[in-house]
Chain A
């Protein structure tokens, strides 16, 4: 079964609303989680790196006030898309690392559609 649970798998929302995506590691401690987004027919682009108990590190061009990341525990990181707009419609994926082994695990992805 999945070792990383990502929810919701898909969400449709109205423009201007906020959407929260959760990424939870089920069997291990994930001190680091990476948040990516993927537009259609494009690559996965790193948005930010979150470390448990500290502020996330955002990639250039990613607005930290729009994409809020919280990593308050060793098993849960959340990405909140605030005041979503149609251009935020994308496939969001979290990738976590097992703190003990360094192995990477992918979440199942969340398809966001903003109307």
Chain B
């Protein structure tokens, strides 16, 4: 079982719709959860991080964490074509400072 799992996609949504990206993790000791956006050929850039159960909102983005279900999601409201990218979920596992990444979900926002 992979430590961090994501559906590879592509997830296709129309412009203006809500995109929902999901991520599950296997280590119950995971402490911090991150969402990164990566454009082709570029380094990932941080969108949001979340530490506690519940929702965290930042502009059009909402991260949701459910530690009991070992599940973290990212909602993108009013999706724009510029949001088309691969979204990486990453976690820090207890005892390790390095991030463990999922394989990413490719999002396509159709104009």
Name A residues whose Cβ lies closer than 8 Å to a Cβ of B. 6, 32, 34, 36, 41-46, 49, 91, 93, 95, 97, 104, 106-109, 111
Q: Which of the residues A46, A49, A108 comes within 8 Å of B43, measured between beta carbons?
A: A108
| SS class, residues of chain B in contact with chain A | loop
| SS class, residues of chain A in contact with chain B | strand
Chain B: interface residue count, which band?
Answer: 10 to 19
Q: Output the nearest chain A residue to B102 by Cβ-Cβ distance.
A: A43
Can you offer 18 A-B residue contacts whose CB atoms are under 8 A?
Answer: A34-B97, A34-B98, A36-B101, A41-B8, A43-B102, A43-B104, A44-B99, A44-B101, A45-B101, A46-B100, A93-B43, A93-B44, A95-B98, A95-B99, A97-B97, A106-B46, A109-B41, A111-B41
Q: Output the nearest chain A residue to B41 by Cβ-Cβ distance.
A: A111
Chain A residues in 8 Å Cβ range of B102:
43
B45 part of interface (Cβ distance < 8 Å): yes
B103 part of interface (Cβ distance < 8 Å): yes
A32 touches B97 (CB 8 A): yes
B97 touches A44 (CB 8 A): no
B88 part of interface (Cβ distance < 8 Å): yes
How would residues 81 to 111 of chain B score, 1 for a CB under 8 Å from any chain A CB and 0 otherwise? 0000000100000000111111110000000
Chain B residues in 8 Å Cβ range of A42:
103
B42 touches A109 (CB 8 A): yes
A49 touches B98 (CB 8 A): yes
Chain B nearest Cβ from A103, distance in angstroms: 10
Q: Output the nearest chain A residue to B3 by Cβ-Cβ distance.
A: A43
